[in-house]
Amino acid sequence: MRKNRKAEKNKKTANRGRPPRKDERLNDLVMKAAALFYKKGYSNTTTREIAEAAGISKGLLYYYINTKEDFLDLFIERLRQSFGGYNRKILDELPFTSAATAICRAIKEVILGMDELQDMLLFWYRECGYMPRDRLRRITEQEIMTVTFFEDIIKAGCDRGEFNVKDVHLVAYQIHALCINWVLKRWDFKKRYSAEQYITEVQKSTLAILGCR
């Protein structure tokens, strides 16, 4: 047991001084770029500023990207990973849990994901009109994927008699709007709620909208 503890301690000590792995560094670059793009705008942000914000040289930055435009694709991939990671797990467990529990879990995961990526989302919402069509299409696909996720849970709840909803698609979009407003209206909501408090309020509002029985 002592040997195991010593080995674990040595491992932690060794990790403390190791350089960040490529995926960790790339994620940091993506988040720093998102914050700058939101604050200054895409056109007004330079790769040098992104490198400085991340604490690396401009030359090292180009080890991870070829051009500044690559960050737009990295943003889309990061959004896909965030919002797609929990969808399958919740849907796979849906047959074994109540739809009310599933929709509450879904709301929590979506809002927490949006909270983590809020600068990225605000950047997209502000500048989507200037983005190339292919990237705009891929961004809207992410929103549709989240709405469809809510729809699948609502349909299951209606089939079981847990929910009473006439227009599933419209209600799914209402839930999505409540979630994204945590980011879009953060200037107001963050004065009034913590993330957990806001999640609880959205869950309660959603169950009321669904006519949960």
Residue reference for tokens 């089939």: 159
57/88 same-domain check: no
Query: What is the rounded CA–CA span in Å between residue 162 and residue 155?
Result: 10
- Is 75 found in the same domain as 63? no
SS3 20: coil
Q: Within 13 A of 23's CA, how many CA atoms are on the CB side?
A: 2
Per the domain annotation, does 82 fall within a domain?
yes
pLDDT at 30: 92
Query: How many angstroms separate the CA atoms of 145 and 80, rounded?
Result: 9
Inside any domain, residue 1: no
Q: Which CATH number goes with the domain that contains 125?
A: 1.10.357.10
Asked if the structure places residue 125 within a domain, the reply is yes
Asked if residue 117 is part of any domain, the answer here is: yes
Cα dihedral 118→120→125→130 (10° resolution):
170
- Residue 80 and residue 63 share a domain: no
Residues 29 and 126 in one domain: no
Cβ neighbours of residue 171 closer than 8 Å, sequence gap 6 or more: 150, 154, 165, 209, 210
32 and 129 within one domain: no
Domain membership of residue 94 (yes or no) is yes
pLDDT at 83: 75
Give the residue, 156 or 42, on which the prediction is more confident.
156
Work out how many domains the chain is built from and give that number: 2
Residue 160 main-chain phi, psi, to 5 deg: -90, -5
Residue 201: inside a domain: yes
At 79, the pLDDT band (50, 70, 90 cuts) reads confident
Q: Is the pTM of this model over 0.75?
A: yes
Q: Which domain holds residue 142?
A: 71-209
The 3-state secondary structure of 45-79 reads: CCHHHHHHHHCCCHHHHHHHCCCCCHHHHHHHHHH
Q: Would you state the pLDDT for residue 21? A: 55
What is the pLDDT averaged over residues 189-201?
95
Residue-level pLDDT at 128: 74
Q: Which of 34, 38, 63 is nearest to 50 (CA)?
A: 34
Q: Indicate whether 8 belongs to any domain.
A: no
Looking at the structure, do residues 41 and 89 belong to the same domain, yes or no? no
d(CA 78, CA 158): 32
**52 and 104 share a domain?**
no
Q: Return the percent helix, strand and coil in the chain, to nearest 5.
A: 80, 0, 20
CA distances from 203 to 9, 108, 127, 206, 208 (A): 42, 8, 30, 5, 9
CATH of the domain at 29: 1.10.10.60
> pLDDT of 119-163, one tens digit each?
988 888 887 777 778 878 888 888 899 999 999 999 999 999 999
Average pLDDT of the chain?
86
